[in-house]
Amino acid sequence: YTIIIYLSYPIYLSIMRGVLSSIMASGQQWVLVEMVQAFYEAPAYHLILEGILILWIIRLLFSKTYKLHETYKLTENEKEDLIEEWQPEPLVPTLSKDHPSLSYDIVTGSPSHKIIINGKECINFASFNFLGLLDNERVKQKALSSLKKYGVGTCGPRGFYGTFDVHLELESRLANFMQTEEAIIYSYGFATIASAIPAYSKRGDIIFVDEAACFSIQKGLQASRSFIKYFKHNDMKDLERLLKEQDLEDQKNPRKARVTRKFIVVEGLFINTADICPLPELVKLKYKYKVRIFLEESMSFGVLGEHGRGVTEHFGVNIDDIDLISANMENAVATVGGFCCGRSFVIDHQRLSGQGYCFSASLPPMLAAAAIEALNIMEEDPGNRSFFNDCLNVALCLCDRIPGLRLEGEPFAPALHLQLEKSSGSREADMKLLRSIIDYCLNRNVALTLARYLEKEERFLPTPSIRVVVTVQQTEEEIQKAVSCIVEAASVLLQ
Amino acid sequence: MTESSVNKLLNGDSCRRTSNGLKTSKNGFVKNHCLLQQPHKYRRPRDKNPNVPHNPSLYKKPFVESFEETPLMVAVLTYMGYGILTIFGYLRDFLRQWNIEKRHIARERDEQKDFVPLYQDFENFYNRNLYIRIRDNWNRPVCSVPGPKMDLIERSTPNYNWTFEYTGRVLKDVLNLGSYNYLGFAENKGPCADAAIEATQAYGVGVGSTRCEMGNLDIHEELEQLVARFLGVESSMAFGMGFATNSMNIPALTGKGCLILSDELNHASLVLGARLSSSTIRVFKHNNMQSLEKLLRDAIVHGQPRTHRPWKKILIVVEGIYSMEGSIVRLPEIIALKKHYKAYLYLDEAHSIGALGPNGKGVVDYFGLDPKDVDIMMGTFTKSFGAAGGYIGGKKELIDYLRCHSHSAVYATSMSPPVAQQIITSMKIIMGEDGTTLGADRLRQLHENTTYFRRKLHDMGLIIYGNEDSPVIPMMLYMPAKIGAFGRQMLKKNIGIVGVGFPATPIIESRARFCVSAAHTREMLNTALDAINEVGDLLQLKYSRRERPLPSLGWMSDESLLKD
């Protein structure tokens, strides 16, 4: 560059001189004339050299900027080598042969009150068949007559000829049952809350969630891409602290706060802990901090409250104060699918925005028909009081009587957790120990199950536990038998 | 604007068109080193010429797919239509705001008026002002088997579709061109229904537990063994919902540091699954092998963004038949690519399983390929099998892994027994294991119907998209108003069709979609064709500028059939 500039210096000078002088002394034609004369007098090699230099400068000025990384550009052969070299990880990691989930227990026939597991008939303390409707003859008959009318599948999503009169009837029946304005059904329980949350909460919104929230809520949160703030399980002080923090934040930036939606997502009865959420306090916080509440009631629907309407009825909370209630129909209702209910203003939005609703085939009509009949039975005989007592009974029996095991959850919850009082230190060993208790009971015709979790995927992994499910069909003797069986197993295996 | 409900407006299946597709890069990509011979530029998917396979040597039979270009005049008019709609939308929103026009939409309760609004007002603009006006074309309630003919409950609206009332009358025997009943197994009589009845009596309808806990019934095991045999893979697993099969299993297969290459028109469930997996997602142009190969090369050469570590694994996610385009995946080329670049392939056969191939075994069968070349075979039972749910098939290690790590296996209730039984029976019929040729007949019938219906529509001068063997037949309407008009006119003629518009399709490419079934008789198809012909003239839908075959003698005789 220096050389170039040095060489081209004379011509710069002459040009500059020319320009300057022509500006400074307009009319003084002699300067230009002098320049032209100098041009003629200059030796030819000089002119050629300067001409080349000018071209060179122009090229430099107009050529692309110099890019550092271009020098590192790979050649095609290098790329080929890289492609050749690259070795992906295997599609799935290899599992150890004795992974506990590899050999599922096989159930033969109906998984109802009496269940045949691996060829052995047991009393079922494992399926979420709370109201015993799974093998109810009326439900079966209704399902059959629907099957004879509509066939099995719907062959389409709700929008495209997948809406059947049965679906409409079930939706209005559910809305009636829950005493809300509207209900919407999904064809799969897991997809219900997982689709409902992202239908409302978007990027930039804030969701306050209980740490013990179940996996489908966690997936819904993830799909919503909102800010997630976890509060300690059932700890209203912790929740209020978070809400206050957010309130301060909002005051700092009111413009943003005006468009940031806020939600609290909780379960009615937590499936992972068998605890009940403190709904009245939540409602107070809702109005204090202007946050909407979404309530997942899969465990409590059909179980809690005088008519089985769930936690709202249990606490006597006005159901309109809850913005959205979601539950699956796979537990108490003993069919397949899920539903959301609430005010039309809220629920109707899902008909275009609930992914699991819009883009999935609708619920087979026979399963919807079964749900309608189950609702009929629940309405005719709200036997929930006695069921409630059953649960209490089981809980009382289990409480404090089993050496080495601890009962977790509300005494009236239908699905309780038995945890080890003293962990052996490793999760795997704990699971094995609990599994041995279950096997002991299985051999004595009592079917229990481990509560299964995806250990790496759970946000807060629950403690290993045996799940004990209470149903209305279990008699006093059967419960006594089960309890004594567990006590026996625990005293044999945990000493 | 936040992700709005508009995105799902005029609900449809596949709802994704990304505009961030790759630009035709100036410097091109490697010409000599690429696996597939490629032209110098990307072929635009909406090319005028029918898409010629880029590498014909990989195909055993001609692969004909056509996407006729939108006529310019039509495009201009369509945009104008949207413009007018938008202006009127604003006008009416203004009138509603001042209570000059009555507001029908549900409103927030008074106690919560001071909360942050649940919806952004703008979100629902198209919903209020466009979708509502034609929404009588969707969600029509069915009250019979969704077979070749169905009964619809008549609805009327006193307020331009804001609310519906049921008149109590039933529209009998509406010809069904909307349900995905490809093989006609949506039946309430016959072997499938009988078997399902027995299963209901034996098992009940629910299960009440997950596969991992207490919901692994013998019928599920039987189903999975049958599915594996049907697909020709080592092992398989069945799930209770097709949508969830995608959205809950992709996260089990890939994670951080993995790359998902996804077709731009993939179904919402695949998109959701990819998103939940927290892998990096890159989108290639629809069925465009150059676009895919460039992404593959770049991914392997450059590694992960910023860290430049190599990707842990690369998963290509495609569908068998794309339900909005009627196109069939270029599987032979994809398999060649995946082998060369050591990527894994996830094939979603939601629409193609049962509907394609000489044995009804989907795209793999259609192209005569080895199912072992596809790492993850996914499909649904909703369509061809007339049931519900989905499956994943593949190597034993894969399925074993899913049994332990699939979200569905651990947290979701297992499949309802009668549904499982319906699948078992219908699948056995397709395989001919019931000792009859009923399955083979249905497959042949479906193929014949597809070819006949497509040819006739094409001959009428309508623009039809997709592969000539695909039983999903999108017919272009372009203008949103024509979705409503076409749907209503066809219903008047007692034919039920599906209309799809933005955002399930690009904004100017609204379309009607026909799904041909093996259960349709020639007579039914002729009735439908006749009606489409008439309505097509009425609404000026015959946009095609391709040369139509001269009415030859053979065609005339068919024509006379049409008149019958």
- Per-residue confidence (pLDDT) for residue A407, from 0 to 100: 86
- Per-residue confidence (pLDDT) for residue B28, from 0 to 100: 37
Q: Which A residues, 177 through 216, put their C-beta within 8 Å of a C-beta on chain B?
A: 181, 187-191, 200, 202-204, 214-216
* pTM passes above 0.90: no
A246-302 per-position pLDDT tens digit: 999 999 999 999 999 999 999 999 999 999 999 999 999 999 999 999 999 999 998
Q: Which residues face A420 on adjacent strands?
A: A405
Query: Considering chain A, what is the average pLDDT of its residues?
Result: 88
pLDDT > 70 in chain A, percent: 87
- Per-residue confidence (pLDDT) for residue B421, from 0 to 100: 96
- Per-residue confidence (pLDDT) for residue B51, from 0 to 100: 44
Report chain A's C-alpha Rg in angstroms: 37
Which residue is closest to A352 within chain B, CA to CA? B8
B528 CB burial (10 A radius; 0-12, 13-18, 19+): buried
Q: Is residue A480 classed as helix, strand or coil in its secondary structure?
A: helix
**Quick one: average pLDDT of A65-70?**
59
Minimal Cβ distance to B243: which of A93, A346, A356:
A356
Confidence of residue B546 (pLDDT cuts 50, 70, 90): confident
- Per-residue confidence (pLDDT) for residue A104, from 0 to 100: 87
- Per-residue confidence (pLDDT) for residue A389, from 0 to 100: 66
B339-356 per-position pLDDT tens digit: 999 999 999 999 999 999
- Per-residue confidence (pLDDT) for residue A20, from 0 to 100: 61
Identify which of B86, B394, B88, B380 has the alpha carbon closest to the alpha carbon of residue B231.
B394
- CA–CA gap between residue B65 and residue B321 (Å, rounded): 12
Identify which of B78, B87, B164, B118 has the alpha carbon closest to the alpha carbon of residue B502.
B78
Residue B83 has pLDDT above 50, yes or no: yes
- Per-residue confidence (pLDDT) for residue A60, from 0 to 100: 82
Chain A residues within an 8 Å CB radius of B213: 126, 449-452, 467
Residue B107 touches partner A, C-beta closer than 8 Å: yes
Instruction: Name the token pair of B170.
Output: 């039933």
The answer to whether the CB of A151 falls within 8 A of the CB of B188 is yes
Write the DSSP assignment of A50-98 as a string of letters: HHHHHHHHHHHHHSPPP-SGGGGPPPHHHHHHHHHH--PPPSSPPPPTT
- Per-residue confidence (pLDDT) for residue B52, from 0 to 100: 44
Side chain identity at residue B36, one-letter code: L
Interface test with chain B among A98, A161, A192, by most B beta carbons within 10 Å: A161
**Interchain CB distance below 8 Å, B193 and A148:** yes
Query: Considering chain B, what is the average pLDDT of its residues?
Result: 86
Question: Nearest-5° angle of CA B170, CA B176, CA B181?
Answer: 125
A77-119 per-position pLDDT tens digit: 888 888 999 999 999 988 877 777 778 889 998 999 999 999 9
Confidence of residue A6 (pLDDT cuts 50, 70, 90): low
Instruction: Name the token pair of B320.
Output: 């068998």
- Per-residue confidence (pLDDT) for residue A16, from 0 to 100: 64
Minimal Cβ distance to A454: which of B107, B146, B407:
B407
pLDDT > 90 in chain A, percent: 59
Q: Which residues face A361 on adjacent strands?
A: A157
Confidence of residue A127 (pLDDT cuts 50, 70, 90): very high
**Quick one: average pLDDT of A129-133?**
89
- CA–CA gap between residue B384 and residue B537 (Å, rounded): 33
Confidence of residue A170 (pLDDT cuts 50, 70, 90): very high
- Per-residue confidence (pLDDT) for residue A46, from 0 to 100: 81
**Interchain CB distance below 8 Å, A259 and B116:** yes
| More reliable by pLDDT, B55 or B498 | B498
Instruction: Name the token pair of A145.
Output: 């007559």
H-helix or E-strand containing A200? helix A189-200
- Per-residue confidence (pLDDT) for residue A33, from 0 to 100: 74
A176-206 per-position pLDDT tens digit: 999 999 999 999 999 999 999 999 999 999 9
The answer to whether the CB of A174 falls within 8 A of the CB of A341 is yes
Residue B10 has pLDDT above 60, yes or no: no
A401-411 per-position pLDDT tens digit: 778 888 888 88
Confidence of residue A71 (pLDDT cuts 50, 70, 90): low
Which residue is closest to A261 within chain B, CA to CA? B116
Q: Give the largest Cα separation in chain A, rounded.
A: 127
B26-41 per-position pLDDT tens digit: 333 333 455 554 444 4
**Quick one: average pLDDT of A207-227?**
95
- Per-residue confidence (pLDDT) for residue B489, from 0 to 100: 95
Question: Nearest-5° angle of CA B333, CA B336, CA B339?
Answer: 145
Residue B259 touches partner A, C-beta closer than 8 Å: no
The count of C-alpha atoms lying within 13 angstroms of the C-alpha of B244, restricted to the half-sphere facing its C-beta, is 33
Q: Does the structure's ipTM exceed the value 0.90? A: no
Residue A388 has pLDDT above 70, yes or no: no
- The lowest-confidence range among A285-289, B492-496, B504-508 is B504-508
Chain B residues within an 8 Å CB radius of A111: 203, 207-209, 214-215, 217
- Per-residue confidence (pLDDT) for residue B23, from 0 to 100: 37
- CA–CA gap between residue B102 and residue B244 (Å, rounded): 40
Residue B267 touches partner A, C-beta closer than 8 Å: yes
- CA–CA gap between residue B130 and residue B149 (Å, rounded): 30
Rounded to the nearest angstrom, the minimum Cα separation between A57 and chain B is 27
